[in-house]
Structure 1
Amino acid sequence: MGQADARILNDPAPIRDAATVIVLRDAATRPRVLMGQRGKDAAFMPSKFVFPGGAVDVVDADIPFARPLRPDCLSRLSDGGADANALMAAGVRELWEETGLLLGTRDARAADITAPRGWRGYLATGHLPDGEAMEYVFRAITPPGRPRRFDARFFLVEDSALGSDADDFSGAEDELNHLQWIPLDEVRGFDMPFITEVVLAELAARVEGRATPGVPFFDNSTEESRFRRL
C-alpha cells in the first residue's frame, strides 16, 4: 500500500454518493442557471453559491420513474456499481427540497406508493421522476481532508421539464438562501467552490457547442487529483 492510499484509508470522512441538479434556462438566448447560497454555518462549503443537490438516501432507490433513464446515462452511471436510479431520484428529491421546484411527470402510480420520508410532499403532487428529462454531465469526488466527502454526479435539465413555476421558490426548505437564476456571463462574480467553477466552464462549452464528448470526471479519490472522461 502506498503512502497516498494509507492517507485515504485514515481519512475520517467517508465518501457518500450524491446528486446535483443543474437547471438551465434560456439556453438559446442568454443562458441562466439556478443557484443558491449555503448558510455561513454549514458544515460543507459554507456561504458558497452552489447548485441544488445532496447525498443519496436509502429510500431513493425505491422510487419508480415515470420514464426510464436514458441508455447512455444508465450505462455511464452504472459503471463502478453505482445505483443509477437512486442517484437520479436523489437529484429530483434534493431539487424539490432545496428549491421547491418539481421535476417529473404526472403518473397515476404515485398515488399508490407508501411515500417514505423525504418523498411525501413530492409524491402527493401526483408526479414521478422523469429519467428522460435528466442528462448526466459531470462527476466529481471531494478531495481528502474535507469534513464531508461526496462522489457527486451532476445532472443537467432544461427548465421546460419542470412541472412547476420556475420562479416559485415558496416551497423551498432553508438549506439554500438567495435562490436565483444567474446568467452564465455573470456567474463568475459569485463566491463559488472551485469544482462548481469547473462544472460551469464545461456547461458553457456545452451551450456553445464546443464540448468534448463524454462525461468529465474530476477524480479526487486519492491525494493525486486526476481529470478524465467517462
Structure 2
Amino acid sequence: MMARKRAKGLTDRQIKILEVLERFHNQNGYPPSIREICDKANISSTSVVNYYLNQLEESGYIERDGRVSRGIRLVKPLSDLTSSAAVAMRQSTRAVRQAVEELLQVPVLGRIVAGSPVPVPASDFSYYDADSMVDIARSLLPARERASSDLFALEVQGDSMIDAMVFDGDIVVMKPATEARNGEMVAVWLRDRDETTLKYFYLENGRVRLQPANPTIQPIYIDDPAVVEIQGKVIMVIRQVSSVAV
C-alpha cells in the first residue's frame, strides 16, 4: 500500500488518526469512539488521542459534537485534505506557524494520581508504548526548557489538584528533578509505601507536607523526608476539554 503524502501542517500521527477515522467510517457507516481510535492507531492512552483530536478540530480538519457518542466527522475526504490544491487553500496563519515551529516529542510514561496516594502498579509503565507521545511546540514551553531533551509527561488521574486547574485526564509535562522549592507542584514517590502522587511540595520544620489543591482533600504529612523521592516538577498542563464519550 502506497504511503499517503503528508499534508503540510499535519504531523504523521495526525495523518494516522485521520486515516483511522475515514477507514472506520467507510467500513462501518459511523465514526469510531476514542477507544476504538486508540486500538486502530496503536495508541494506548485516550488522553493522547484526545489531544490530537483537539488539534485537528482547531485546525478545521474534523468537527466534533460533544453531546453525542461518536460525534467526530471528517470535514472532507482525506484524499481532498491531502491534495496539494486543498493544502494550499487551507494554509492559515496557524498552519504556517505549525509547519515552521520545531515540535518536541514528549513521551507519556504513565499515570500519576492526583488524590490519595496509591500503590504503583507493576504494569503501569508497560501500558504505554512508543506511540504514547505528545508533540509540543517549543514556543509553548518555558524559555529555559525549550532546549530540554529529557522532559516526560504523565496522565493525571483524580481531582485533588482541581483548584490548580489540573483535572482528571489532563496531561502534565514534567521536568526531571530530585529537589523542589516550597510551593512547587511535583510528582513524588513515597518509598515506604511504594505509592505515587501529584501535589504541592512543602518542607516545614523537618517535615514534608504534600498539599492538594482541593479544599475537600486533606494534606499528607510525612515525618521522615528521606522517604519522599521527588521525580519531577510540573512545567506545563495539557487540558483535555472534549466530552465525547469514549
**Band the TM-score falls in, shorter-chain normalisation:** under 0.3
TM-score (norm 2): 0.23
Relative contact order (alpha carbons < 8 A, sep ≥ 6): 1 or 2 greater? 1
TM-score (norm 1): 0.24
Which one has a bigger Cα radius of gyration?
Answer: 2
